[in-house]
Amino acid sequence: MLKDHRPEEVQARSPIRIPTCEEAVAFPKRSVFVTTEEGLKIRLVIPEGPPRPAIWLHVHGITDSYLNGMRFKDLAGRQDFQLLLLELQNHGGSDRHEQGSSWGCREKFDLFATLDYIGRAWPHKPILLTGTSMGTMAITQAALTRPLAFKKVRGMIFESPLSSLTKIDERLCAYWTQNSACANVLGRALSLIAKLRSDIDFERCFAKTAPPVEVPTELWLSHAEFKDPTLMALAKASPAHRNLSIKVFDRGTHSAYYGYEPEAVEEALHDFWKRVKEP
Q: What is the pLDDT of residues 40-64, one digit of tens each?
A: 999 999 999 999 999 999 999 999 9
Residue 240 has pLDDT above 90, yes or no: no
The span from the CA of 168 to the CA of 110, in Å, is: 27
Q: What is the pLDDT of residues 184-239, one digit of tens each?
A: 665 555 555 555 555 566 566 766 678 899 999 999 999 888 887 777 777 777 77
Q: What is the DSSP letter of 212?
A: P
pLDDT at 164: 45
DSSP output for 49-115: ----SEEEEEE--TT--THHHHTTHHHHHHTTEEEEEEE-TTSTTSPPPTT---TTTTHHHHHHHHH
pLDDT at 195: 57
Domains, the chain, with CATH or none: 8-162+212-276 (3.40.50.1820)
* Per-residue confidence band for 2, with pLDDT thresholds at 50, 70 and 90: confident
Residue 169 has pLDDT above 60, yes or no: no
The span from the CA of 258 to the CA of 215, in Å, is: 23
Whole-model pTM: value is 0.87
* Per-residue confidence band for 131, with pLDDT thresholds at 50, 70 and 90: very high
pLDDT at 203: 62
204 CB neighbour count, 10 Å cutoff: 9
Lowest mean pLDDT segment, chosen from 78-82, 117-121, 167-171, 200-204: 167-171
Residue 159 has pLDDT above 80, yes or no: yes
